[in-house]
Amino acid sequence: MEQSNKGFRSGFVAILGRPNVGKSTLMNALIGEKIAIVSPRAQTTRFRIMGVLTQPQMQIVFLDTPGIHTPRNKLGEFMLSAVQSALEDVDALLLMLDASDAREKDFEILRQYAALPAKKAIVVNKIDLVDGPQLAPLLQKLSEIKADAYIPLSARKGKGLDELMKLLGGWIPEGPKYFPDDMITDQPERVIVAEMVREKALRNLREEIPHGIGVEILAIENQGDERRAVTIHANLYCERESHKRILIGKQADMLKRIGEQARGDIERLLGQKVNLQLWVKVRPDWRNSPLDLKTLGYE
């Protein structure tokens, strides 16, 4: 649906950085809707996720990406290719790091992507966790990396977002409205539902288990029938019997908690009562299985 009206500006902005720096939190905050799941576990985001912000005179299409890391399996390779795919034809890059946890790896990433031709802002997130004297030397060190802007902000507290938006508004060129006003993401509903379940699993589990979680939606029934609850059947993949025991928990309390939390989110999304049926499956090494990856949408 391209319609060109004079003076309208539009562009694509990719958000890049190490895992857990707050990329998805930032995109959600900029769009004003929760589109991408967020958790304290590294490698939460596995897809390139589009978030569309439409205003009367401009449209910015944000691309949230998986955290940049060295892949250890086929899923990791898929995630890295999702990062690469976000870089094609972007107008601007937000290169993001965590002010409270800046590492050599962040600088490596900044240097690597600073060479790309798009406009670049180095975004220093989580400034709510550090005080001024701690921030100054970091900003000083970052100024040695060539970029068009350096923006300290807090995605979680919504601090510094206006400055970032003002900057991006000036960077994006005159262009068409690429997507209709009511479109906020390219993720199908089924994927969002699966992601909501995965988010609750990530938030409730720890150590290595979260990395091996995958969610397959088997069926969504009765959707749109106001008299009934939507019934959703989903498989939760994990990689070992010991993980399955933890994922289910004593008297199934863990699985119930994950299901309860996810149900709340899904009910808000669908605007209908939800009956969520979760089944736990052990799939050793599914992150290297082309068939399992395909089933879960990672291809």
Ligand X SMILES: Nc1nc2c(ncn2[C@@H]2O[C@H](COP(=O)(O)OP(=O)(O)OP(=O)(O)O)[C@@H](O)[C@H]2O)c(=O)[nH]1
Does 81 bind ligand X (CB under 6 A)? Our answer is no
Q: Are strands 230-238 and 214-221 parallel, antiparallel or unpaired?
A: antiparallel
Does 24 bind Mg ion (CB under 5 A)? Our answer is yes
Cβ closer to ligand X: 128 or 208? 128
Does 187 bind ligand X (CB under 6 A)? Our answer is no
Q: Which of residues 146-175 bind ligand X (CB under 6 A)?
A: 154-157
Q: Residue with the closest Cβ to ligand X? A: 67
CB of 43 to ligand X, least distance (A): 5
Locate tokens 């959600």: which residue?
28
Concatenating the DSSP letter of every residue in 54-92 gives EETTEEEEEEE-PPP----SHHHHHHHHHHHHHTTT-SE
CB of 1 to ligand X, least distance (A): 29
Does 105 bind ligand X (CB under 6 A)? Our answer is no
How many Cβ atoms sit within 10 Å of the Cβ of residue 173?
Answer: 8
Q: How far is CA 18 from the centre of its chain?
A: 12
Q: Which does 235 bind (CB under 5 to 8 A by kind): ligand X, Mg ion, none?
A: none
Does 44 bind Mg ion (CB under 5 A)? Our answer is yes
CB of 147 to ligand X, least distance (A): 19
- Convert residues 18-47 into a mask of x (bound to ligand X by CB under 6 A) and - (unbound): -xxxxxxx------------xxx-xxxx--
What is the DSSP code (8-state) at residue 182?
A: T
Does 128 bind ligand X (CB under 6 A)? Our answer is yes
Locate tokens 């890059």: which residue?
93
Q: How far is residue 56's CA from residue 179's CA, in Å, rounded to a whole number? A: 13
Q: How far is residue 200's CA from residue 177's CA, in Å, rounded to a whole number? A: 35
Q: How far is CA 3 from CA 91, 174, 180, 218, in A?
A: 19, 12, 10, 38
Q: Which of 10, 28, 39, 45 binds Mg ion (CB under 5 A)?
A: 45
Cβ closer to ligand X: 11 or 17? 17
- For ligand X (CB under 6 A), the number of binding residues is 25
Q: Which does 139 bind (CB under 5 to 8 A by kind): Mg ion, ligand X, none?
A: none
What is the DSSP code (8-state) at residue 155?
A: T
CB-based burial label for 80 (10 Å; 0-12, 13-18, 19+): middle
Q: Which H/E stretch holds residue 279?
A: strand 274-282
Does 187 bind Mg ion (CB under 5 A)? Our answer is no
Cβ closer to ligand X: 22 or 58? 22
Cβ closer to Mg ion: 155 or 258? 155
The answer to whether the beta carbons of residues 127 and 99 sit under 8 Å apart is yes
Q: Which of residues 48-77 bind ligand X (CB under 6 A)?
A: 66-67
Q: Which does 39 bind (CB under 5 to 8 A by kind): ligand X, Mg ion, none?
A: ligand X
Query: Where along the sequence are the contacts to Mg ion (CB under 5 A)?
Result: 23-24, 44-45
Name the site residues for ligand X (rule: CB under 6 A).
17, 19-25, 38-40, 42-45, 66-67, 125-126, 128-129, 154-157
